[in-house]
């Protein structure tokens, strides 16, 4: 019952978001139907577009799961952004500097990226557990430190690709792309299709399993819901806060690694945040903090972003409308009470109507 309400409520929020977006487009003189048609064609028009949508969604699914996992254990991981940056950076470093056989190289790069991001996020967990510093503030700070740290390392002359604003490319052995030259499903495999999406789905299932069926999950949820009672029950609250943040960090780091090893093959100098982590917050919220839900929310989000960019060249409508739509969706999701009120109002009216009809 609760779950169904929640789903209904999420769908209403998404529709309201799209509706408000349409009004804004209309207000500045663009045809919203045209814009949304272009977006939908931009997602489903060709098999290649579909594969691009999936590729774009993959990091968002993973950062979404990262944020959702932290939420489930009572922590707000605004730091997914920085953890993503750290994961991407470490994956690139390992992918470029180390010489390892194929497959193993990719796995090692991924594991190192997860480890580094886990430590990065674990630091925020440690500061909360040890000094009681709110993780929202520390992770925001760590995001910026990660960004500048990544830039500083990309500027390192042994790592920087000459005459570019980016690092060296990873070695072929570290890539997780599917081999080139697969020729079925039309041009589906013309995009840099990689194992990332499969990894994301497996991770979603794994996280669900951990939370639901293990003692670790029990502890983490207990701490998340009521740390006082968990402490009273003999659960080490501080340790669990650090573990939870570290796992969340590893997930965001995985997102960064998958993105580098499967798509970009390098890290660039960042002038500002790219938003992979912040978008993950929105994904998590839309998914009601369910890791499986993050797969769908991530695809929705990736689709909106990928399809949304196409309205700019096609009709000159600003693609930032997508940020606005997402903002509105999150805005409505923040107030379940509003939707609750609207539905009870409708129910009451219905009931009133029934009485009248008698």
- Tell me which residues touch another protein (CB under 8 A): 24, 28, 76, 127, 131-134, 136-138, 140-142, 144-145, 148-149, 151-152, 155, 213-219, 221-222, 225-226, 228-234, 236, 271-273, 278, 281-282, 285, 312, 316, 318, 320-324, 326-331, 333-335, 337-338, 341
Please state the closest distance from residue 240 (CB atom) to another protein, in A: 13
- Is the four-CA dihedral 70, 292, 329, 338 of positive or negative sign? negative
- Answer whether 61's CB lies under 8 Å from 200's CB: yes
* Residue 241 to residue 129: CA distance in whole angstroms: 6
Minimal distance, residue 320 CB to another protein, in Å: 4
For another protein, the closer of residues 71 and 197 by Cβ is: 71
Q: Tell me the three state secondary structure of residue 318.
A: coil
Nearer to another protein among residue 44 and residue 156 (C-beta): 156
| Residue 45 Cα to chain centre, angstroms | 24
Nearer to another protein, 90 or 127 (CB): 127
CA 28 to chain centre: 31
Residue bearing tokens 């060296």: 168
Whose Cβ is closer to another protein: residue 115's or residue 149's?
149
Q: How far is the CB of 328 from another protein (least distance, A)?
A: 7
Which lies closer to another protein via its Cβ, residue 43 or residue 146?
146
Nearest distance from C-beta of residue 225 to another protein, angstroms: 4
- Give ∠ CA 57-266-50 in degrees, rounded to 5: 25
SS (H, E, C) 5-55: HHHHHHHHHHHHHHHHHHHHHHHCCCCHHHHHHHHHHHHHCCHHHHHHHHH
Residue pair 144/82 in contact (Cβ under 8 Å)? The answer is: yes
136, 121 Cβ separation under 8 angstroms: no
**Closest CB to another protein among residues 174, 282:** 282
| CA 267/CA 80 separation, integer angstroms | 17
Nearer to another protein, 167 or 194 (CB): 167
The strand pairing partners of 160, in sequence order, are: 167
Assigned token pair, 255: 């997102």
Reduced to 3 states (helix: H, G, I; strand: E, B; else coil), residue 268 is strand
**Least separation, in Å, of the C-beta of 9 and another protein?**
13
Find the shortest distance in angstroms from Cβ 358 to another protein: 21
Smallest separation (angstroms) from another protein to the CB of 115: 21
Give the C-alpha distances (Å, rounded to integers) separating 189 from 50, 78, 184, 272, 295: 10, 34, 8, 31, 21
Measured from the CB atom, the residue of 170 and 329 that comes closer to another protein is 329
* Minimum CB distance to another protein, residue 141 (Å): 5
């Amino acid at each position: 019952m609760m779950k169904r309400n929640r789903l209904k409520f999420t769908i209403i929020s998404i529709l309201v978001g799209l509706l408000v977006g349409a009004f804004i487009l209309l207000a500045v003189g663009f045809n919203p139907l045209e814009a949304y048609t272009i977006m939908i064609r931009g997602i489903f028009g060709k098999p290649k577009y579909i594969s691009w949508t999936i590729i774009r969604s993959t990091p968002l699914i993973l950062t979404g799961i990262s944020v959702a996992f932290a939420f489930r254990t009572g922590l707000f991981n605004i730091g997914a952004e920085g953890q993503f940056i750290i994961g991407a950076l470490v994956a690139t470093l390992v992918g470029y500097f180390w010489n390892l056989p194929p497959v193993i190289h990719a796995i090692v790069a991924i594991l190192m990226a997860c480890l580094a991001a886990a430590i990065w996020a674990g630091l925020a967990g440690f500061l909360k557990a040890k000094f009681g510093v709110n993780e929202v503030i520390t992770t925001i700070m760590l995001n910026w430190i990660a960004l500048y740290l990544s830039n500083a390392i990309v500027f390192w002359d042994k790592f920087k690709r000459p005459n570019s604003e980016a690092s060296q490319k990873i070695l072929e052995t570290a890539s997780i792309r599917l081999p080139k030259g697969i020729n079925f499903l039309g041009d589906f495999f013309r995009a840099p299709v990689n194992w990332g999406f499969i990894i994301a789905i497996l991770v979603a299932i794994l996280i669900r399993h951990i939370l639901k069926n293990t003692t670790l999950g029990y502890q983490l949820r207990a701490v998340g819901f009521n740390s006082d009672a968990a402490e009273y029950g003999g659960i080490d609250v501080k340790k669990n806060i650090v573990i939870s943040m570290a796992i969340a960090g590893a997930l965001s780091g995985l997102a960064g690694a998958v993105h580098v090893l499967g798509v970009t093959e390098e890290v660039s100098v960042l002038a500002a945040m790219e938003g992979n982590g912040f978008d993950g917050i929105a994904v998590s919220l839309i998914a009601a903090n369910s890791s499986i839900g993050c797969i769908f929310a991530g695809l929705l989000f990736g689709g909106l972003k990928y399809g949304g960019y196409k309205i700019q060249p096609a009709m000159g409508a600003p693609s930032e409308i997508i940020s606005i739509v997402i903002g509105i969706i999150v805005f409505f999701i923040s107030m379940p009470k509003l939707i609750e009120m609207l539905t009870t109002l409708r129910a009451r009216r219905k009931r009133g109507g029934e009485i009248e009809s008698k």
